[in-house]
Structure 1
Amino acid sequence: MPLDTITPFTPFASLAGGILLGLSAVMVMALFGRIAGISGITTGAVPGRRDDWPWRLAFVGGLVAAPLLVLIVTGQPLQQTVPGDLLAMAIAGLLVGFGTIIGSGCTSGHGVCGLARLSSRSLVAVLTFMVFAAVAVFVLRHLV
């Protein structure tokens, strides 16, 4: 495998991100009594759709603002490796969206919050995510 396809090892950035993610999950549960699942938060962030849309919209705004804050503080944009195939990305996005509907939640809702609550449904969901992610990586990197 070429070295430019290997994800760099970033333990401190990963630790900081994990701490912030965990803190936000605890804050959403403590302040609003809700699970910090991104699919559920974004679905309810539309004004008028739910009574609690303001905090949801603020949460989504924070997701958008965070990379901009990194750019301002460091002077460097976050590096992302996004495929150039827009059709494949659209299909993948639709599949993920469909998966969150049939799985009653997303990776953050089940993986971060559900596992922390020892939810057996979340454990099954996370195992399903991980198996299909491993299969997708294997197929895309070694067969396609």
Structure 2
Amino acid sequence: MMTDFTPLMSFLGGTLIGVATVALMAVLGRIAGINGIASGFLTTQFNQDWAWRAAFLAGMVASPLIMLGVTGQLPEITVPSSPLMLVIGGFLTGIGTTYGSGCTSGHGVCGISRLSARSIVATVTFMATAGVTVYLTRHVFGG
């Protein structure tokens, strides 16, 4: 499966992620780890802490609509896996983020920029596991 090379959109998306990460740390002193933001959103009472989490998540959900308004089309999403594989992958990701004390956004974007050894190890583990998984599913199991 080939993917399109989109340097401009990738650059803009990465820039927005970086700006949001820095803004959240500068304004609220919080890490932009999606796993922690979503978890806190689901478990926190309606207060100021819940409000920023809701706003952050709403921005993530609204971003494809913003893309539609800017470019005239929604981002194309192709999922080359079966629904069962998506459920299994989501379950394994949930286990991994629980035992790894965070997700790729928390460790990879925020932790590495703070030179956290734990985050560097976690991100290397994420990336190595992703590489092995892609190789196995595309070349060994034929998916």
TM-score, structure 2 normalization: 0.92
Match 1:91 to one of 79, 88, 91: 88
Amino acid at match of 1:139: L
CA distance in 1, matches of 2:25, 2:115: 15
Select between 6-15 and 113-122 the one with higher mean Cα deviation.
6-15
Deviations 1:80-111 (A, max 9, x none): 11135111101101111111100000000000
What secondary structure, in the 3-state scheme, does the structure 2 residue paired with 1:45 have? helix
Shift of 1:49: 7.3
Q: Distance in 2 between matches of 1:49 and 1:125?
A: 32
% same residue: 53
The answer to whether the aligner puts 1:21 opposite 2:17 as a matched pair is: yes
CA distance in 1, matches of 2:117, 2:46: 30
Detail structure 1 runs of 4+ shifted over 6 Å in the superposition. none
Instruction: Give deviations 1:56-94, integer Å, cap 9, x for gaps.
Output: 011000000000111233221111111351111011011
Tell me which residue corresponds to 2:59. Answer: 62
CA shift, 1:10, in A, is 1.0
Query: What TM-score do you get using the length of structure 1 for normalisation?
Result: 0.92
Which residues of structure 1 form unaligned runs of 5+?
none
Indicate conservation of the 8 Å contact 1:67/1:78, yes or no.
yes
**Contact 1:35-1:113 within 8 A present in 2 as well:** yes
Tell me the amino acid that sits aligned with residue 31 of structure 1: V
Matched, 1:107 2:139: no
Q: CA RMSD in A?
A: 1.4
Higher relative contact order (CA 8 A, sep 6+): 2
